[in-house]
Structure 1
Amino acid sequence: MTDKRTTLQEAVAGLESGMTIGIGGWGSRRKPMALVREILRRDDLTDLTVVAFGGPDVGLLAAAGRVRRLIYGFVSLDSIPLDPNFTQAREKGVIEVEEYDEGMFVAGLRAACARLDFLPIRAGIGSDVMAANPHLRTVRSPYSTEEYVAMPAFDIDVALVHMNRSDEQCNAQYLGPDPYFDDLFAMAAKRTIVSAEKIVPTSDLLSEGSFHTLLFSRMYASAVVEAPRGAHFTTCVPDYDRDEAFQRHYATAAKDPQAWADFEQTFLRTDEDGYHAAVAQFHADRGES
């Protein structure tokens, strides 16, 4: 069996400007933040189209000017309703957007998984989503008089997802309450990069969860990176919860140019070990363990 283990740097090295990147997770939950931070370290990686149920992944990439176009169902920090970096980018009109009903978004993923041009869906009919996305078309059923939205498949070059566990072959396992459609991202994309809290022997994959938690198999992924706390500051239950104090710090800093410059210098202009050391110092300065 193929050993697909690699490093953050090697995983992101294969990405190119202009690509369409699908990012798994949901809002501020189990986002592949270590991979996102590695993208930010690549100054030459720009002009991206991002497909996501967005959270701070979208906010950070938008703030860095890496996103040309965003295809999304929402962008939220969950406990904080809106990501300020995304909000500013949206209000300034510096990114192109395609915003969809969540059901339509999932239909776009499912169509890509099935290698279909589109899937019919009722959602969107009679709503402003059609006016906001004038490229959308409708299709009439061949079996009745019903008319549906023909939701186009998302053409994703590379998907990034974060898992609780994986083996070296990239059989991916989640242990939390929800798969967050990460399996659809993996199956929809031409290539998938997985980061995982731990890489374990294949024989140990069922030691912490039933076979139902094996979200997708190695055939859908090309690389896996062991990245402890790789979803920080979002949740990665049961390994850890969201770092609410740090998320508030992120959201507050995003609203002030000087504070944001300080945030970038402290947390983003460093390698992954430096990031986690800076986060630890942030909590130490607050008197937290």
Structure 2
Amino acid sequence: MADKTMTLSDVVGHVESGMTIGIGGWGSRRKPMAIVRELLRSDVKDLTVVTFGGPDVGLLCRAGKVRKLVYGFVSLDSIALDPHFRAARESGAIETAEYDEGMFVTALRAGANRFSFLPSRAGLASDVLTMNPDLKTVRSPYDDEEYVAVPGLRPDISFIHLNRGDAQGNGQYLGNDPYFDDLFAMASERCFLSVEKIVDTASLTAQAPPQSLLVSRLFVQGVVETPNGAHFTTCEPDYGRDERFQKHYAATAADDESWQAFRTRFLDTDEASYQREVQAWQATR
């Protein structure tokens, strides 16, 4: 079977300006942050981003790379809103399609099944329809029930982060929640997987049950090993959220000078340097 291992630059090299990209994870949990940081170093722009957002959205908005955001929410979990997303949303710097969480999952399921839409009760008689006037309703052919016709989401490329993977692209989660990373993989034209560690295929089920194999190699075009690659979000059980660093990230959004210092130290560099600088910063706290 083909070896699909890549570098971060290889992965981001597949992204072109104007694309629709999906980003897995949930809020500030198991986000493919190493890939996001590599995107920040690239010259791509005008992206449509599809996600249950966290700092991935904030960073991409601050960098001016987002044209439109399709989302169920954007939160840092322990901090209610990402400050960079809030600034972009309030200023009107980005287009938005804000869905009910149930509608967002329905949209992913439709995309994963190659349906143009799926019906949903979520969103009926709510401001979701007011805020998204392009959404339509549909009546059941079997009774008088009316549903929201949630359009399927089909990203050009999606990025997800899991605990373990093999060189062929099989992906395994070891925490309590798969989130919806499998749907992102199946709904997208291409999916790239980052993992804490690449292991041989047999090892995937040697210490964890088969049902922990969340993503099949059939849906993965490339896999990259990125230890601590979800930092500063969680990647349980490998590590939890770096709350101190997340607070630092949010605090530096308050003014341009603080943000520029954060960006220069942690983002305008490669991933290895990012990890070293984070360790150096932690040592002083």
TM-score, structure 1 length as denominator? 0.98
Q: Which structure 1 residue ranges, 5 or more long, are not aligned? A: none
> SS in structure 1 opposite 2:237?
coil
2:131 is matched with 132
2:77 is matched with 78
Q: 2 CA distance for matches of 1:59 and 1:209?
A: 34
1:219 is matched with 218
Matched letter for residue 239 of structure 2: Y
Spell out the pairing of 1:175-186 with structure 2 (5 A cutoff). 175-186=174-185
1:16 is matched with 16
Q: Which structure 2 residue ranges, 5 or more long, are not aligned? A: none
State whether structure 2 residue 219 is matched by structure 1 residue 249: no
2:90 is matched with 91
Spell out the pairing of 1:256-271 with structure 2 (5 A cutoff). 256-271=255-270
1:35 is matched with 35
State whether structure 2 residue 26 is matched by structure 1 residue 26: yes
Runs of 4+ in 1 over 6 A off after TM superposition: none
Q: 1 CA distance for matches of 2:136 and 2:280?
A: 52
| Cα RMSD, aligned residues only | 0.5
Percent sequence identity is: 61
Matched letter for residue 170 of structure 2: N
Q: 2 CA distance for matches of 1:283 and 1:227?
A: 20
> SS in structure 2 opposite 1:98?
strand
Q: 1 CA distance for matches of 2:117 and 2:209?
A: 34
Q: 2 CA distance for matches of 1:144 and 1:3?
A: 51
**What displacement does 1:206 show?**
1.1
The count of residues paired between Structure 1 and Structure 2 equals 285
**What displacement does 1:209 show?**
1.3
> SS in structure 2 opposite 1:150?
strand
Q: 2 CA distance for matches of 1:80 and 1:207?
A: 37
Q: 1 CA distance for matches of 2:126 and 2:207?
A: 44
Matched letter for residue 33 of structure 1: M
1:150 is matched with 149
What CA deviation, in whole Å up to 9, does each residue of 1:129-158 have, x standing for no partner? 001000000000000000000000012100
**What displacement does 1:212 show?**
0.9
> SS in structure 2 opposite 1:208?
coil
TM-score, structure 2 length as denominator? 0.99
State whether structure 2 residue 276 is matched by structure 1 residue 277: yes
Spell out the pairing of 1:162-241 with structure 2 (5 A cutoff). 162-241=161-240
What CA deviation, in whole Å up to 9, does each residue of 1:82-139 have, x standing for no partner? 1000000001100000000000000000000110000000011100000100000000
